[in-house]
Chain A
Amino acid sequence: MADTLWEDRDVRFDISPQQLRMRSGEKCIDRLDAIEDTKGNNGDRGRLVVTNLRVIWHSLSVPRVNLSIGFNCVINISTKTAQSKIRGTSEALYVLTKCNDTRFEFIFTNLISGSPRLFTSVITVHRAYETSKLYRDLKLRGALIQNKQLRLLPQEQIYDQINGVWNLSSDQGNLGTFYITNVRLVWHANINESFNVSIPYLQMKTIKIRDSKFGLALVVETSTSSGGYVLGFRIDPAEKLQSVAKQIQNLHKVYSHCPIFGVEYDTEDRTPVAEDLPVEPIQDDVDIEHDDQTDAFAAYFADGDKEKDREPVYSEELGLAIEKLKDGFTLSGLWEVLS
């Protein structure tokens, strides 16, 4: 399912109302109704919705004008002063993102002065997202085991622990232990705890029983975005293998239906946000097909009109790696222009 989950891993512009809708497991954490997108839609009042996966902004006058910024793309969030058409010089939220090697910068200004809610909401939710990666990301050789026990995540429950599971990634195989929880499948080698793998159901593509050179084995294939690994495990006897596979498949199904993303955010005494759609349904009699050809993103480039960085090369002059120079440019020439 990870390959269909784009909400937190993509920056999209002018998306359809279907895409604006919350997916299963996605929760609206905060909604602010007077936010200006200072960079792309300066002077336009809009609504900002913070979910556990992304930040959505859409114009209130033209709801089709919108942004969806996945938290996984965010590099840095800071507050700086910006020039807003509606509020003049004011403190604004700067969000720097990188998506498919293109850096975008977003600036949001709260039109209600004196309220830090915009900053606190986005920054704390992003922090919560960053510190809960084990829920969503495949992890190899991590510090998962402590005192011979699995270090549990806050919303995690162990459903089953299975000893005598062979990992088939080396010639002789490694004997280890399975932990099956409501979020993920964890295996670790019995003799080397630091040799382990944590596979959230989110990242599982297929769970099958296949024949291998070690005999029948449980094969877990992970999503392409996580690296497309194929992990083989052998459990004896075959009936046990069957039941474990069945269990994992069922849990995967349950999880896919109702995913746990692990982004916990204490809403404090905030006005309770209804679990409704972030955008009021628009009565559009004609649904115009967008071919994703808008050039709205051009306004948000973080580095001028540059879409992609060039190759790194080693510079003898500086003794450091630099971005390959454009033809006809020299390092000292570029530097002297500035100074």
Chain B
Amino acid sequence: MSLFKTRDWWSVAIGEDEEFDHGCLCIGNIDNNPDNVDKIIIGSFHGILRIYNPHPTKTENGWSGYKVEDVMVEQAFQLPILQIEVGKFSSVTENLQLAVLHPRKLAIYSVKAISGTVEHGQQYQIQKLYEHNLQRTTYNFCYGPFGGIKGKDFICVQSMDGTVSFFEQESFAFSRFLPGALLPGPLKYVPRLDSFITVSSSWHVECYKYQSIAAASQSPGVDETQNIKSGKKIVVDWTFSIGEAALDINVIAFPQAPSSILVLGERNLYCLTEGGLLRYMSKMEFDPCCFLPYGSMTEGTINYIVATTTKSLLVYQDVTLKWAAKVEHCPVQVKVANFQDLKGSIVTLSDDGHLQCSYLGTDPAIFIPPATDARDLNYKAMDAEMEKLQKKIREKAHKAVITPNLKTDDDLQITVHVNQHLDDGSSATNDAQIPGEKVPSITARIVLKAKTLVENIHVDIHTSRPLTSSQHSFTLSSLESGKSTELLVQFYMKYCSLPSTLSAEVSAKYPSATGAPRVATAKIKLPLKLVMKPVFPVKNAEHKLTIDTNKPPVSLNDIFPDLLGENAGSAGAALGFQFFGGPVVTILASKSSQRYRLQCDQFEAMWLPLKDLVGRLTSHLNRGRSGDFKASFDGSLPLQEYFELIEAHFEYRMNAVKCEEMLGQRASQFRVIQRRLLTKFKDKTPSPLQNLDTLLEGTYRQLLALADAIEDNNQAQNNTSDNLSSGTNLLNYLIKLWLDLTEEEFSVLTSVITPIVNDNHQHGWEEMVDAAVTHLLRTVLAKTAKDTSINPAPLTIPSDASKVKKHIALMCDRLGKGCRLIEGLRERSEHKQKLPAPKKMNITENGTINETPESRPVDNIVNMKYNENKKKKKLPPLAGDNISTNMFDSETFGLPVTDIPDGDNFNEKRRQKKIEAIVPNLDDMDNQDDDRNINQTDSQALFAL
């Protein structure tokens, strides 16, 4: 944020691989020179004490900076220096002395100057006045006129375990434990209160009176020692919770400003009164590393500097930011000092020993200089390059649109090879949940190749139900450039339902060199034999599909060489395949006509074989020749069968909703009974439970049963979703063959009637497809301009699936009449005569589209066939108890149905039956009487107590 920088006045890099931290920098007139100029005193963790007297001289080139004679003293101690302070630590003089804290020692030194004839002849002597050896490892210390003594400073040393030891100059006074100390925090003395302020590890600012610390001695008669083991608890004067650890505390005693205590937390700065009340706090948007209140420039305010880890110094007046400037190094401590030629200089010390005396720059750094052109430019070469580029542009300009090539070179490439043969030993044996089948598996080899060094690669394998892979994800720590690695994954069928797709996807996620996330993907095509096995063809089946081609028929044995099984010796006119744990699909090839027929008892099961058949025919017949093979579908669209799939799927969705409603009701009932029971138990005069306990037990069992029912329903819904997905794929594919749709149109169709069945609580497949189809009907498929109004309704679960069925039928009708799915395409000749509308249509599309009279006869013709089917297959409409109980019994329906008290007799009966079914019989419960009695007596005994 800061455009300003600090300006260097005097600086020096000190130390050779030494470290510094907060406490290592101190300012003071340590040699008690009468000119009263500040010196900089620095102690390092390596035990070297240095005193500098910065006095650069002004030359015509600016300030001279660091000079050799600026060093006053450099002395190496054998012990690390933790903290240094300047104060009146001597009992004989009021001169300033130096206190140096080592891990187990506190030493006081005086610094004396002996002048010479020249500047470099001046020598300084460091004399040890006294020292205290300490029992505990120290953390920090503070000093001041404890107890209000005049002209002297006493010292309080805090150790790592929170013990404070007091030293009255040469003599030791006493040691005390701070209450609840876990980790030591910053410690400061407040002269006006004669108190100590610290921030404890419980993140409270705490104030202790010196008197109360001194008075808390264990036993009055015993001599005070440092080696204390126990003590009275010190009473805290006040506490203030700041909820974070504190970096530093400073006590404000400027004459113009109200006396306060500033606490720098890790995120905030707090200003407290001496009584421990908050005056103000300022939240910071950066991590502070140290701070220093240095004065009060306006009456009643405090000026302070906060240094941040982002290498900037911020000057505040109370909560107002007055100035900000960047520094070169991140400071661990900041001070303000008055030197010979400069008042108010900012002294900063970084952890690696960069000491700097600086002042605030006032030139904003906003100018970015233009690169100067003093270099020789090779105009010839530039002209040549310019010409070349322009030529390229001209060439490209003729060709269509110039779009930026977004495809950057992928650092990682994925290639997948699927084995030709199924695995010898199936890895599905343990995992697959298909009873009575030996499910095979197939191995795919995934090869990752990196162009540059790629790290942290995360590879995911995505399969769709019921297929699964032996491992779903891999993590590679790194892949060197040019190297490749191989992963082996087995795929197999896990669940007993129909797969709707035979492809899986591999995606690898990795960070690019610049740290941006990148994803590389690859598709895996799995063979049909992974999900189907050859069986003997079945002669009759309920559903039949006939595919016409424009080529003479081929032997099925030729195009399904890998799926012959026991049919290998046959004529090749008929082949049977069975899904593992599923239906048998039979493929028949006509001998005379150019037709193929698929038949199966389950309509949607024909999808994968059909697709595979057409695919194999295409590659077989187009081999080596121009691709003029064409398959077409001439029969009527199997809409009725498709609608049954929708119905089944929708039924489960409705069931799920109802079950959840019921679960909610039962749960609230459970809670109400619990509450009743609790009040009964709490009552002082015991009253009979009035069978509430039985009711509680019953409701509890209902809850469990309902939860199980929801699980079962979910399973069943997943299976119907898979079926619906297969059915949708099949229908779309048939429409494609029927109308000979272009790829583009087909992609529109699949995105409208999507084969991705993904239900959740917000919206499900039916309403999404309905909305999409309705949109098509009102846009590209609209008949008149009047229909084109677009007024999308919110997506809510419909009460029944009739609307979506109606709209799909209408869409097929429109498509059959030659409408195109993409605007601007030529109208197709009508396929009207084959229109396979399922019902008598009386579609009123928002009251605008009326049934078309000319389609009626066709409908009738088509419907004859469907009606037959209906009679065979469809359950008669629900009427009466009989059937509804049947429904409950039938496993597929899982849990019925409704718990809405709608007054409907039928529903009411149904519900009661259901509850009866769920609620365990009370007679059964009586059989467990023994246990219950014991329990009851127990509880009664408890009450008796």
Chain A interface residues toward B at CB < 8 A = 40-42, 62, 65, 75-76, 89-90, 96, 98, 100-101, 113-114, 130-132, 137-143, 146, 167, 169-171, 174, 189, 192, 194-195, 197, 226-227, 229, 231, 294-296, 298-299, 301, 303-306, 308-310, 312, 314-326, 329, 331, 334-335, 337-339
> By the criterion CB–CB under 8 Å, are B68 and A314 in contact?
no
Closest B-chain residue to A297, C-beta based?
B372
Q: Give the Cβ gap from A322 to chain B, nearest Cβ, in Å.
A: 4
By a CB distance below 8 angstroms, the chain A residues around B67 are 227
B120, B329, B360, B363: the one contacting A303 at CB < 8 Å is: B363
> By the criterion CB–CB under 8 Å, are A321 and B323 in contact?
no
Pick the 5 closest A-B CB pairs, nearest first.
A169-B121, A304-B367, A321-B359, A195-B123, A170-B116
Given contacts A76-B328, A318-B297, A322-B362, contact A169 B116 (CB under 8 A): yes
Q: Give the Cβ gap from B555 to chain A, nearest Cβ, in Å.
A: 58
Closest B-chain residue to A191, C-beta based?
B125
> By the criterion CB–CB under 8 Å, are B117 and A312 in contact?
no
B73, B121, B372: the one contacting A194 at CB < 8 Å is: B73
**Stretch binding the partner chain, chosen from B1-9, B167-175, B585-593:** B1-9
> By the criterion CB–CB under 8 Å, are B342 and A312 in contact?
yes
> By the criterion CB–CB under 8 Å, are A141 and B328 in contact?
no
Q: Give the Cβ gap from A65 to chain B, nearest Cβ, in Å.
A: 6
User: What are 8 A-B pairs at a CB distance below 8 A?
Assistant: A41-B375, A114-B452, A227-B69, A296-B375, A304-B363, A304-B366, A304-B368, A335-B322
> By the criterion CB–CB under 8 Å, are B62 and A76 in contact?
no
Q: Give the Cβ gap from B380 to chain A, nearest Cβ, in Å.
A: 13
By a CB distance below 8 angstroms, the chain A residues around B780 are none
Those of B50-74 within 8 Å (CB) of chain A: 61-63, 67-69, 71-74
Those of B313-355 within 8 Å (CB) of chain A: 315, 321-323, 328-329, 336, 342-346
Q: How many residues of B contact A (CB 8 A)?
A: 70
> By the criterion CB–CB under 8 Å, are B372 and A335 in contact?
no
CB of B945 within 8 A of chain A?
A: no
Given contacts A167-B121, A317-B297, contact A298 B372 (CB under 8 A): yes
Q: Give the Cβ gap from B124 to chain A, nearest Cβ, in Å.
A: 7
Question: Which of A76, A310, A321, A337 is most buried by chain B, counting CB atoms within 10 A of its CB?
Answer: A321
> By the criterion CB–CB under 8 Å, are A42 and B371 in contact?
yes
By a CB distance below 8 angstroms, the chain B residues around A337 are 364
CB of B513 within 8 A of chain A?
A: yes
By a CB distance below 8 angstroms, the chain A residues around B328 are 75-76, 96
By a CB distance below 8 angstroms, the chain B residues around A321 are 9, 342-346, 359-360
Closest A-chain residue to B59, C-beta based?
A101
> By the criterion CB–CB under 8 Å, are B336 and A141 in contact?
no
A306 to B114, CA, bound (A): 43
Closest A-chain residue to B362, C-beta based?
A323
> By the criterion CB–CB under 8 Å, are B360 and A318 in contact?
yes
> By the criterion CB–CB under 8 Å, are B121 and A142 in contact?
no
Given contacts A304-B365, A320-B346, contact A194 B120 (CB under 8 A): no
Known: A65-B375, A312-B359. 8 other contacts (CB 8 A): A40-B371, A130-B13, A131-B17, A301-B369, A303-B361, A304-B369, A321-B346, A331-B362
> By the criterion CB–CB under 8 Å, are B9 and A312 in contact?
yes
Given contacts A76-B329, A339-B321, contact A325 B297 (CB under 8 A): no
> By the criterion CB–CB under 8 Å, are A323 and B7 in contact?
yes
By a CB distance below 8 angstroms, the chain A residues around B619 are none
Q: Give the Cβ gap from B59 to chain A, nearest Cβ, in Å.
A: 9
A139 to B9, CA, bound (A): 21
By a CB distance below 8 angstroms, the chain B residues around A42 are 371
A56 to B295, CA, bound (A): 47
A146 to B345, CA, bound (A): 34
Closest B-chain residue to A315, C-beta based?
B344
Given contacts A98-B8, A139-B71, contact A331 B323 (CB under 8 A): yes
By a CB distance below 8 angstroms, the chain A residues around B374 are 294-296
CB of B495 within 8 A of chain A?
A: no
By a CB distance below 8 angstroms, the chain A residues around B121 are 167, 169-170
Given contacts A75-B328, A229-B120, A325-B362, contact A143 B294 (CB under 8 A): no
> By the criterion CB–CB under 8 Å, are A322 and B75 in contact?
no
Closest A-chain residue to B337, C-beta based?
A321
Contact with A along B7-34 (1 / 0, CB 8 A): 1110001011100000000000000000
> By the criterion CB–CB under 8 Å, are B363 and A320 in contact?
no
A317 to B315, CA, bound (A): 11
By a CB distance below 8 angstroms, the chain B residues around A100 are 61
By a CB distance below 8 angstroms, the chain A residues around B63 are 101
Q: Give the Cβ gap from A173 to chain B, nearest Cβ, in Å.
A: 10
> By the criterion CB–CB under 8 Å, are A141 and B123 in contact?
yes
By a CB distance below 8 angstroms, the chain B residues around A295 are 372, 374
A141 to B67, CA, bound (A): 12
By a CB distance below 8 angstroms, the chain A residues around B453 are 114
> By the criterion CB–CB under 8 Å, are B303 and A140 in contact?
no
Q: Give the Cβ gap from B588 to chain A, nearest Cβ, in Å.
A: 62
A318 to B322, CA, bound (A): 8
CB of B149 within 8 A of chain A?
A: no
B13, B73, B74, B123: the one contacting A189 at CB < 8 Å is: B123
> By the criterion CB–CB under 8 Å, are A308 and B62 in contact?
yes
> By the criterion CB–CB under 8 Å, are B75 and A143 in contact?
yes
Given contacts A101-B62, A114-B452, A189-B123, contact A303 B365 (CB under 8 A): yes
By a CB distance below 8 angstroms, the chain A residues around B228 are none
Contact with A along B102-136 (1 / 0, CB 8 A): 00000000000011111011011110000000000
A77 to B893, CA, bound (A): 73
Closest A-chain residue to B51, C-beta based?
A141
Given contacts A140-B120, A197-B120, contact A334 B362 (CB under 8 A): yes
Q: Give the Cβ gap from A113 to chain B, nearest Cβ, in Å.
A: 6
By a CB distance below 8 angstroms, the chain B residues around A76 are 328-329
> By the criterion CB–CB under 8 Å, are B48 and A143 in contact?
yes
Closest B-chain residue to A169, C-beta based?
B121
By a CB distance below 8 angstroms, the chain A residues around B124 are 141, 194-195
> By the criterion CB–CB under 8 Å, are B336 and A320 in contact?
yes
A96 to B365, CA, bound (A): 15
By a CB distance below 8 angstroms, the chain A residues around B925 are none
By a CB distance below 8 angstroms, the chain B residues around A41 are 375
By a CB distance below 8 angstroms, the chain A residues around B74 are 141-143, 194
> By the criterion CB–CB under 8 Å, are A338 and B375 in contact?
no
Question: Which of B16, B68, B343 is most buried by chain A, counting CB atoms within 10 A of its CB?
Answer: B68
> By the criterion CB–CB under 8 Å, are A322 and B369 in contact?
no
> By the criterion CB–CB under 8 Å, are B123 and A306 in contact?
no
A42 to B368, CA, bound (A): 15
> By the criterion CB–CB under 8 Å, are A319 and B303 in contact?
yes
By a CB distance below 8 angstroms, the chain B residues around A308 are 62
Given contacts A170-B121, A195-B123, A319-B294, contact A131 B16 (CB under 8 A): yes
B69, B294, B362: the one contacting A140 at CB < 8 Å is: B69
Closest B-chain residue to A174, C-beta based?
B123
By a CB distance below 8 angstroms, the chain A residues around B7 are 309, 312, 323
A314 to B365, CA, bound (A): 21
> By the criterion CB–CB under 8 Å, are B61 and A319 in contact?
no
A114, A299, A310, A338: the one contacting B372 at CB < 8 Å is: A299
A331 to B71, CA, bound (A): 35
Closest A-chain residue to B315, C-beta based?
A318
A82 to B121, CA, bound (A): 50
By a CB distance below 8 angstroms, the chain A residues around B346 are 320-321
Q: Give the Cβ gap from A308 to chain B, nearest Cβ, in Å.
A: 6
